[in-house]
């Protein structure tokens, strides 16, 4: 029987507040019909009552009108009676002999709950009808009432009033936006099935819920192209669609993005999310220092577990009843509720978290917190375990974060500049290394060519000396031959013709032979002179571009020119010598 009761508690805690009234009525009637049964779970009635009936604090109505004071007093008294009745019901549950008193308590609880809910609706109806005056004159009292819980049937209109979305011009553009095409449609379609997959309104593929969710997300992606679509925003839109039609949900979502810092959270840069992470980490350090030290030792960064808290306002963390109550306060007070509830979650689980490593803490915060929340009423969770977060303190942390980010930006700019300079210097170094390698190669080549040039110059100098010696020898031989020719001319003129006919004939034959040899030698010598002249011309053509070379190369060229000149003169001298010999032979023949 206890397992059945626990199942009923878990089922009722995971459902939405939309059917609280029917659930409470059914539970009360069931208790009345099962007076004799000890297995009936009276704790279900207590939990449902706590979940659905906002108990007003006695401190809140100090500035209300007499009628409002009377209503609030009634609500407080009814809440106290409900708690008393639930305790008496639990004490009677174990005994069948006290079933009569249990029936009386159950009937009293049903009656008190009905009056409490009726009074709450009357109060909220009056607030909605006189919203402008109430919001201006009794803002603190409205905030306290929102903290106690907004009745389900008033939630849609109250949310619109809280964010001033009831008369937005953009509502008239909604139908036109749906006719347009968004670049984010594929991403939205992909994530639709992952948004509230267990909720009846969204779990069926291509259902009405998925279609209207797609419409709202698509319309906003067209209105705000900078943000476009971000996955976490679909859970917020889904919650809005559970409460109101898609046009109103679209207007409320636009207001939330513009006025509740959500747009900055969902920007591609997510700079606002970084600020929230910094603020939340500083709060952990101040309020939960031991846990902060443990997180640091395990390298458990805030963004690893708290990003979804801020991006979805706990809609992916807690069951819808608790998440909706948190969202009520978010609509009234902004992101401060996320900081308060986040610190409460960490405080509730501090003992367990201190025993876990990084992976264990991540799993604990993702799954264990959800299980714990099933057995904690929204009243206890939202108020008893929430921290007081001052706006002034958040602003101070924002200034610190802005200063840090400004310094980081300056450092990033400086680092970028230094990296650019470093890259340019590396390129310059590579260029200089290439130039150095090229110069080294040229130096080696120059040294090699210099050694070759020196050897070549020495060889040319030797050849020049030999050529000069050959020239001198040729001059001497030429002079000797000229002297012989003169001497022979003298002797020939002195010899008688008749006595020397026979001898002259013999000499003639010898001369003819020598003449033939001389002609052959002269021909060869002329050919040699011609070859030397061609070689000389080629040498001149080759050396015309060398005059711009260094002095050493010019010296080599001059030596080569002089050598060629000497060789040419030698060849010419030899040719003259041959001609002289030929002439001498002709004269001897004559």
Distances (CA, A) of 158 to 63, 112, 127, 143, 150: 21, 25, 9, 12, 8
- 420 inside domain: no
pLDDT score, position 224: 92
- 555 inside domain: yes
Owning domain of residue 251:
150-260
pLDDT digits (tens, 9 = 90+) for 336-347: 999 998 998 898
Domain identity same for 293 and 254: no
> For 358-378, what is the mean pLDDT?
75
Confidence bin at 494 (pLDDT 50/70/90): confident
Domain identity same for 186 and 103: no
pLDDT score, position 25: 38
- 492 inside domain: yes
Domain identity same for 304 and 243: no
Q: Which of 25-34, 106-115, 381-390, 543-552 shows the lowest per-residue confidence on average (mean pLDDT)?
A: 25-34
pLDDT digits (tens, 9 = 90+) for 54-89: 333 333 333 445 555 554 554 455 444 444 443 333
In the chain, the number of structural domains is: 4
pLDDT score, position 453: 79
Please check the confidence at residue 470 and state whether its pLDDT lies above 70.
yes
Confidence bin at 474 (pLDDT 50/70/90): confident
Domain identity same for 484 and 574: yes
Please check the confidence at residue 244 and state whether its pLDDT lies above 90.
yes
pLDDT score, position 99: 34
Q: How many CB atoms lie within 10 A of CB 338?
A: 23
Q: Which of 98-102, 299-303, 369-373 shows the lowest per-residue confidence on average (mean pLDDT)?
A: 98-102
CATH number, domain with residue 373: 1.10.472.80
Domain identity same for 201 and 77: no
Most confident of 153-162, 377-386, 544-553: 153-162
Please check the confidence at residue 117 and state whether its pLDDT lies above 70.
no
Question: Phi then psi for 283, rounded to 5 degrees?
Answer: -70, -40
User: What's the rounded Cα separation, in Å, for the pair 291 and 303?
Assistant: 16
Domain identity same for 515 and 561: yes
Query: What is the DSSP code string of 427-492?
Result: HHHHHHHHHHHHHHHHHHHHHHHHHHHHHHHHHHHHHHHHHHHHHHHHHHHHHHHHHHHHHHHHHH
Supply the pTM of this predicted model.
0.55
pLDDT digits (tens, 9 = 90+) for 200-238: 999 888 889 999 999 999 999 999 999 999 888 999 999
DSSP H helix total and E strand total for the chain: 26, 0
> For 282-307, what is the mean pLDDT?
93
Distances (CA, A) of 102 to 37, 90, 105, 109, 341: 11, 9, 5, 10, 37
Confidence bin at 330 (pLDDT 50/70/90): very high
Beta-carbon contacts of residue 258 (< 8 Å; ≥ 6 apart): none
CATH number, domain with residue 165: 1.10.8.270
pLDDT score, position 398: 81
Please check the confidence at residue 177 and state whether its pLDDT lies above 70.
yes
Please check the confidence at residue 518 and state whether its pLDDT lies above 80.
no
For the chain, percent of residues with pLDDT exceeding 70: 73
pLDDT digits (tens, 9 = 90+) for 406-462: 887 777 877 887 888 888 888 889 888 888 888 888 888 888 877 777 888 888 888
- 437 inside domain: no
Domain identity same for 9 and 133: yes
Beta-carbon contacts of residue 47 (< 8 Å; ≥ 6 apart): 9, 12, 13, 377
Spacing of C-alpha 66 from chain mean position: 60
User: What's the rounded Cα separation, in Å, for the pair 45 and 25?
Assistant: 9
Domain identity same for 81 and 155: no
pLDDT averaged over every residue in the chain: 75
Most confident of 99-103, 138-142, 161-165, 580-584: 161-165
- 406 inside domain: no
Domain identity same for 285 and 256: no
pLDDT score, position 5: 38
User: What is the number of alpha carbons within 13 Å of residue 582 lying toward its C-beta?
Assistant: 15
> For 289-306, what is the mean pLDDT?
93
> For 382-393, what is the mean pLDDT?
64
Please check the confidence at residue 284 and state whether its pLDDT lies above 90.
yes
């Amino acid at each position: 029987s206890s397992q059945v009761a626990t199942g009923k508690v878990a089922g009722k805690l995971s459902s939405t507040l939309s059917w609280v009234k029917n659930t409470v009525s059914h539970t009360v009637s069931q208790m009345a019909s099962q007076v004799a049964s000890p297995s009936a779970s009276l704790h279900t009635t207590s939990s449902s009552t706590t979940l659905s009936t906002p108990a007003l604090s006695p401190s809140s109505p100090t500035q209300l009108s007499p009628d409002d004071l009377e209503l609030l007093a009634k609500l407080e008294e009814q809440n106290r009676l409900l708690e008393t009745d639930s305790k008496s019901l639990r004490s009677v549950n174990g005994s069948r002999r006290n079933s009569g008193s249990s029936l009386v308590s159950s009937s009293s609880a049903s009656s008190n709950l009905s009056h409490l809910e009726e009074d709450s609706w009357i109060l909220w109806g009056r607030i909605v009808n006189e919203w402008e005056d109430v919001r201006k004159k009794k803002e603190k009292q409205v905030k306290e009432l929102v903290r106690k819980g907004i009745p389900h049937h008033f939630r849609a209109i109250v949310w619109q009033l809280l964010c001033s979305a009831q008369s937005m011009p953009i509502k008239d553009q909604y139908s036109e936006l749906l006719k347009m095409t968004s670049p984010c449609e594929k991403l939205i379609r992909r994530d639709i099935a992952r948004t509230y997959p267990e909720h009846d309104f969204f779990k069926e593929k291509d259902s009405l819920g998925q279609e209207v969710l797609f419409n709202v997300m698509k319309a906003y992606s067209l209105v705000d192209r900078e943000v476009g679509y971000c996955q976490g925003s679909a859970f917020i839109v889904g919650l809005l669609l559970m409460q109101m039609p898609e046009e109103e949900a679209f207007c409320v979502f636009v207001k939330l993005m513009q006025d509740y810092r959500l747009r900055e959270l969902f920007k591609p840069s997510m700079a606002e999310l970084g600020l929230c992470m910094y603020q939340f980490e500083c709060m952990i350090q101040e309020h939960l220092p031991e846990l902060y030290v443990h997180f640091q030792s395990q390298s458990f960064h805030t963004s690893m577990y708290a990003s979804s808290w801020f991006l979805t306002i706990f809609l992916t963390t807690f069951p819808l009843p608790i998440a909706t109550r948190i969202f009520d306060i978010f609509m009234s007070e902004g992101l401060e509720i996320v900081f308060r509830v986040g610190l409460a979650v960490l405080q509730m689980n501090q003992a367990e978290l201190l025993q876990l490593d990084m992976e264990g803490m991540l799993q604990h915060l993702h799954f264990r917190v959800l299980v714990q929340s099933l057995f904690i009423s929204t009243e206890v969770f939202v108020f008893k375990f929430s921290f007081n977060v001052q706006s002034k303190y958040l602003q101070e942390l924002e200034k610190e974060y802005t200063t840090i980010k400004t310094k980081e930006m300056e450092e990033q700019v400086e680092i970028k500049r230094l990296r650019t300079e470093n890259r340019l210097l590396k390129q310059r170094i590579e260029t200089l290394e290439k130039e150095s390698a090229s110069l080294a190669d040229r130096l080696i080549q120059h040294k090699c060519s210099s050694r070759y040039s020196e050897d070549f110059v020495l060889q040319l100098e030797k050849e020049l000396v030999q050529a000069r010696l050959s020239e001198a020898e040729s001059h001497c031989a030429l002079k000797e031959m000229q002297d012989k020719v003169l001497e022979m001319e003298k002797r020939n003129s002195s010899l008688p013709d008749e006595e020397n006919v026979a001898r002259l004939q013999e000499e003639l034959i010898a001369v003819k032979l020598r003449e033939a040899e001389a002609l052959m030698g002269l021909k060869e010598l002329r050919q040699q002179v011609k070859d030397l002249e061609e070689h000389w011309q080629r040498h001149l053509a080759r050396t015309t571009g060398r005059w711009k070379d260094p002095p050493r190369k010019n010296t080599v060229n001059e030596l080569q020119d002089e050598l060629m000149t000497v060789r040419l003169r030698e060849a010419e001298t030899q040719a003259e010598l041959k001609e002289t010999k030929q002439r001498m032979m002709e004269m001897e023949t004559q």
